[in-house]
Structure 1
Amino acid sequence: MKGQGILISALVFAFLIAIFAVINVDSVQVNFLFTKTTLPLILVILASTLLGGLTVGLLGMIRQIRLQRTVKALEKQVAELTNEAGLLGVSSAGNRMEPKDVARPQSE
């Protein structure tokens, strides 16, 4: 459901930007660092929106990758600690258990 809400809000936002861009079709002077040019305002609005969206998307992907790496490292750490606890004979509740791999002496 959350993904659908985000998709719908993104479509509404894109629709509003498109309407705003179509209303503003006059030519404007754009000053880059090294040159000046005249472009239709609709292109400036659409290009700015696209670059902003790509920037936010890229930063979100970088954050997601970092979080996935952290999760994998923590899962590995949990597995190691669980394995170590099993070898020591400690249950997940912290109670002492009989070690599984240690042979008990047979009573006669």
Structure 2
Amino acid sequence: MKKTTKLFFVLILSFVVVLFSVINAQQIEVNFLFTKLSLPLVLIIISGVIIGALIVLIVMLSGVWQKNRTIKQLKQEIIELKTKDDSEIDSEENEVILNLKKELKEKELELSDLRHQLVNDMMSESSKEDTLEVNDWTETKKETYEDSSD
């Protein structure tokens, strides 16, 4: 959308400049310090616009180049700081990190064992309850059978 708007304004400005130049088509004398030339006003107006556009372009490009250079320098500084931080970690810190990782693995194993133990306990309790129910059922059937046989 921005590019379309910019293009629209550039086209309108170009149209106005060309229209103004065509309306003022008479010859005028231009003094270049060491010589005088008689040129059409159209040529002088268009060359003035082109020279102005080139000046604006050069100023804009210098700003862009400066920003790109600053960005490149900042990226380089970031890379240097990252590598500096990585190299500053002592071997003692590495040992501490390794010990903590080892301890974490041990705790995870212990947790896994406790989970398995809990599941086994729950399964054994469930089977005990089932056995008790079966025994109760069997005893009631026995009693019923004994009562009926008498």
TM-score scaled by length of structure 2: 0.57
Aligned to 2:7: 7
Identical amino acids, percent of aligned pairs = 31
Aligned to 1:70: 70
1:83 aligns with 2:83: yes
| Higher-Rg member (1/2) | 2
Q: CA deviation at 1:2?
A: 2.2
Residues in 2 aligned to 1:8 and 1:23: alpha-carbon distance in whole angstroms: 23
Q: CA deviation at 1:86?
A: 4.2
Residues in 2 aligned to 1:4 and 1:77: alpha-carbon distance in whole angstroms: 38
Q: Deviations over 1:1-46 (max 9, x none)?
A: 3222222211111111011111100111111111111111000001
Residues in 2 aligned to 1:57 and 1:17: alpha-carbon distance in whole angstroms: 18
Shift in CA distance, 2/86, structure 1 to aligned 2, threshold 3 Å: farther
For residue 95 of structure 2, give the secondary structure of its aligned residue in structure 1.
Answer: coil
Give the aligned length: 97
Residues in 2 aligned to 1:9 and 1:86: alpha-carbon distance in whole angstroms: 52
Q: Deviations over 1:46-105 (max 9, x none)?
A: 11111111111122112211110111101111222233334446xxxxxxxxx5xx2336
The aligned runs of 1:84-99 (5 Å cut-off) are: 84-88=84-88
Give 5+ residue unaligned stretches, structure 2. 103-150
- Higher helix content, 1 or 2: 2
- Structure 2 counterpart of 1:68, one-letter code: N
CA RMSD of superposed structures (Å): 2.3
Higher RCO, 1 or 2 (CA under 8 Å, sep at least 6)? Answer: 1
